[in-house]
Amino acid sequence: MTSISPTVSRPASSTVMPQIFLSVMGGLLLTFLVFTSLATGYQYRHSGLIFPGVSVAGIDLAGLTHAEASDALWEQLNYPREGRIAFQDGSTIWAATPAELGLVLDAHNTALAAYRVGRSGNPISQFFTQVNALQSGKDLPPLLVYDENIARNYLVNLAATVDRPTIEANIGVDGVEVTLRSGQVGRTLDVDATLPLIGSQMNSLTDGLIPLLVHETPPVIFDASEQAEIARQILASPLTLTTPAGDGGAQVSWEIDVQTLAGMLAIERVPTADGEQYQIGVSTEYLRGFFGQYRPRNCPYSGECPLYFQR
């Protein structure tokens, strides 16, 4: 007796799918191995060196160690040491280096930041950062340290030259000589307002001219030369005072010498529409005391005695 076994046909898809899966996985594995090999080789080649394409302020640091990059930056980024920032007040100009104003290049940490490009994050992130730096370049800003207190101290020292007090015009008498001191406009350097201008200028890493911000305070009386001239005319010669004759009384005259007249001079500040000015005259109280003992008989005590001035 002959037996016949049935033949079971398997679908083609049941064998194709595992093959596709294995092919895909194999391809991914191969890609990963190639990627890992390239990344490892690239990093090994630049072990301890800054990756290609990395620069600071346009200075190429590729292939340098951290120490070499630090030295290169210190040598080439010389703005803090050799730059010039000038300050102007009218026709006077002062100049200082950024270093004298508190700006210092941190070459060590700047070079360290360049060295760390392509070495932070996960391996995939590192690789793509390295490739991007190689293809497009990676330029970093320099790390500058600015001590504002040093700049403030510089301005405070500058203020000792710029500042001046407000001085009022003054008229005085020295013996029989009239003295005059002219007024002076007060000036004060605004340190707090000028300070931010320094920081802005140094951020540009370029030389520049900064106008000093100075506040001016004028005196109430700046010029008293006209009133001083009046006082000089009063003291130019003795003063003669004469009472009129009348009612049987004789005419009486007094001559006041310049020395006495100088002591009688009254110099007062009086308000005006524009502020104040000096007023020159003779002290009324002084005159009353001087003439009280010489009151002529033709001047009644109930009235005023007229006087005539002669020069």
Joined together, the tokens standing for residue 308 give 């005539």
pLDDT band at residue 125 under the 50/70/90 scheme: confident
Q: What is the pLDDT of residue 283?
A: 78
In this predicted model, what pLDDT tens digit does every residue of 53-74 receive, in sequence order?
A: 999 999 999 999 999 999 999 9
pLDDT value of residue 300: 47
Residue 280's CB is within 10 A of a number of other CB atoms, namely 20
Q: Are 180 and 169 in contact (CB under 8 A)?
A: yes
Nearest-angstrom CA–CA distance, 127 and 145: 31
- Inter-axis angle of helices 66-76 and 107-116, nearest 10: 130
Predicted confidence (pLDDT) at residue 152 exceeds the cutoff of 80:
yes
Read off the DSSP letter of residue 50: P
Name the band, by pLDDT with cuts 50, 70 and 90, for residue 295.
low
Q: How far apart are CA 287 and CA 264, in angstroms?
A: 8
Helix (H, G, I), strand (E, B) or coil at 62: coil
What are the pLDDT digits (tens) for 241-264? 776 665 555 677 778 889 988 888
Q: At 46, is the pLDDT very low, low, confident or very high (cuts 50, 70, 90)?
A: confident
Structure pTM?
Answer: 0.70
pLDDT score recorded for residue 33 = 63
Residue 115, pLDDT score: 95
Position 294 scores a pLDDT of: 54
Q: Which residues pair with 92 in a beta bridge?
A: 89
Q: In 105-170, which residue ranges form alpha helices assigned H by DSSP?
A: 107-116, 123-136, 148-162
**Lowest model confidence (mean pLDDT) among 139-143, 246-250, 266-270:** 246-250
